Amino acid sequence: MKIAVVIFPGTNCEDETRYVLGERFGQQVDLVWHRDTDLAGFDCVVLPGGFSYGDHLRAGAIARFSPVMGAVAEAARRDVLVVGICNGFQILCEAGLLPGTLLPNAGGTFLSTWVHCRVASGDSPLTTGIEAGRVLRLPIAHGEGRYVADPDVLARIERNGRVILRYSDANGQVAEATNPNGSMAHIAGIASEGGNVVGLMPHPERAADPELSSQDGIPLLGALTRGNGRATLDAPVAVGTASGGASSVSTTRAGARRGSRPA
């Protein structure tokens, strides 16, 4: 599988995301600068965590206007796998590629802690093959993770089984006490109607290594990388951009020195 990990100014989880997908799961991973407008040839696009544009205004609110987002939307439309982790989830919601929005945590502060999440649906690129009800221990680290959607939107995603992860206790019971940020319906991750776009606040890439304190991100990323994806962007996608500085193809190979990133 060929995976694009998109870097916006302020993204800060690209390195470990590339490392885990590339070196632990053996995928070909390219880092893609946000000014690129071409995602041709990728089977999967990952928007990693961080603080794109410093979370100024609202998390993800500025990144959705980045030149690359046209190609991300095109990828989503063409059934290519698109995954947003943390800030990536926020960007996908801001861009309208996933329903709902992510508001400041109910507790009012940034929260970096381990949580348990119950797999709510096995019908998504991240949860295929994982039995519903399985509990995963994953880290979260966010200030704006409270998932909110209109009642009818929430009803629809629940009805269609588009909630993929819910915050729970270690036994899979959901309750206010184990909901770290006040998300509606304890939602930690969702999938799009088409199923190919997913977003989640927990960081599976921080829990995918035997040396770290949990390996529960492995089933999620394993599900993502097990197949060959659903579709591939096979032709360059021409997308108008506001920026005159947009370059053409300037991705770097997995494992490339970090120095060559935005050349």
SS (H, E, C) 145-209: CEEECCHHHHHHHHHCCCEEEEEECCCCCCCHHHCCCCCHHHEEEEECCCCCEEEECCCHHHCCC
Q: How far is the CB of 248 from other proteins (least distance, A)?
A: 15
CB of 23 to other proteins, least distance (A): 9
- Nearest alpha carbon to residue 96 among 224, 202, 192: 192
Please, which residue, 139 or 195, has the CB nearer to other proteins?
A: 139
Closer to other proteins by CB, 153 or 212: give it.
212
- Of 44, 86, 93, 117, which residue is the catalytic one? 86
Q: Work out how close the CB of 205 gets to other proteins at its nearest, in angstroms, rounded to a whole number.
A: 6
Contacting positions for other proteins (CB under 8 A) = 9-10, 12-13, 15-16, 19-20, 49-51, 53-56, 109-113, 139, 141, 143, 203, 205-206, 208-209, 211-213, 245, 257-262
Q: How buried is residue 65: exposed, middle or buried, by Cβ count under 10 Å (0-12/13-18/19+)?
A: middle
Q: Any catalytic annotation for residue 13?
A: no
Are the C-beta atoms of 54 and 23 separated by less than 8 Å?
Answer: no
**Alpha-carbon gap, residue 260 to 251, rounded angstroms:** 9
Closer residue to other proteins (CB): 16 or 74: 16
Q: Is 203 a catalytic residue?
A: yes
At its nearest, how many Å lie between other proteins and the CB of residue 78?
29
How remote is the C-alpha of 15 from its chain's centroid? 15
Is there a catalytic annotation at residue 86? yes
- Residues with catalytic annotation? 86, 203, 205
